[in-house]
Amino acid sequence: MGWLEGKVALITGGGSGIGRALVERFLEEGASVGVLERSSENVRSLKEQFGDQIVALQGDVTLLEDNERAVAETVQAFGKLDTFIGNAGIFDFFATLPNLPKEKIDQTFDQVFGVNVKGPLYGAKAALPELLKTHGNIVFTVSNAAFYPAGGGPLYTASKHAVLGLVRELAYELAPKIRVNGVAPGGTLTNLSGPAALEQDTLTNSSIEGIEDLMKGTNPLHIVPSPRDHTGAYVLLASNQQSMAMTGVVINSDGGLGVRGFDTVAGGEDL
C-alpha cells in the first residue's frame, strides 16, 4: 500500500517535467490525480498514458476560472480533494537586469509572475473549499532561486521568493485545518520554457548549452537530478500521516546548495 492510498490530488503543470513525474509517482502511491495543463498535446498524452486514473484538463493557471474548473472536475470524478500541488512555472533563462530590454520588462514581469505567483495563489483559492472538507494540504513548487542568487534572473528569482512567501503566509492563515508546504528543486533537466515577451516560450532549460555541467558544478553532490528524484519530497508532504506536524516548511531538494552556495560569482560581468 502506498503513502497516498485513497487520496486525491490536483497538480498544475502536470504534463511534463516535475509535474509529469509527480502524476506518475502519486498514482504509484495510490492516489487519484487531476491535472491542469497548458499544452493540449500534453493533455492528450496524459489521457493516452493513464486513462481514467486521471482527469486532465487543458487550461491556464493564471485564470481563476480555469483553476476552479480543474477543482470541480477533479472532485466530480473522484469525490473529494486532499492535496493541491501548485507546480506550473516558467523560467527566465538567466536574463539579467542589464540584458532585459526596458520596453519588455513590464510584459515579461506580468508573464513570469502570472504563472509563477498568481498561478499557485489562484489554485490555492480554488481548492480551498474542498481542502477544508478533507483537512487537506497544499504543496508549492518553489526553487533553489527562492534562497540563493544565480538560479535565474531577477524576475524568476523574485517570483520564487514570492512563492516562498505564499508558503509561509498561507501556512499561517490556513492552520490548523490545512497544511501548506513547499519543495525547492535545484537544477533539473526538464522542458521548462520561458516568457513569450522575451521570445523564450519555445526554449527549454535542457537546451541551454553546458547546462548539465553548470548544474553539477553548483551543488556539492555534483548531480543533475531527474524530475522523479524530487517526487519523494512531495509525497511526504502530501501525506497527512507522514508529515502531520509539518507546515510552513520547504524541503530543499537541490543537491546541498545550502551548505556551500556557489563557487563563482558573476555579479558585475554584464555591466
Catalytic amino acids? Answer: 156
DSSP lists the bridge partners of residue 108 as none
Q: Which helix (H) or strand (E) holds 32?
A: strand 32-37
Query: Which three cell numbers, joined as nine digits, stand for 96?
Result: 539579467
Instruction: Give the separation between CA 92 and CA 84, rounded to whole angstroms.
Output: 25
Per-residue three-class SS string for 197-221: HHCCCCCCHHHCCCHHHHHHHCCCC
Check whether the bond before 176 is cis (ω within 30° of 0): yes
CA nearest neighbour of 97 among 162, 158, 185, 165: 158
Count Cβ atoms below 10 Å from residue 213 Cβ, excluding itself: 10
C-alpha to C-alpha distance for 224 and 227, rounded to whole angstroms:
10
Which secondary structure element, helix H or strand E, spans residue 57, and what is its range?
strand 54-58
- Sheet with 83-86: list strands edge to edge: 54-58, 32-37, 8-12, 83-86, 137-141, 179-185, 250-253
* Residues in the chain, total: 271
DSSP 33-102: EEEEES-HHHHHHHHHHHGGGEEEEE--TT-HHHHHHHHHHHHHHHS---EEEE------TT--GGGS-G
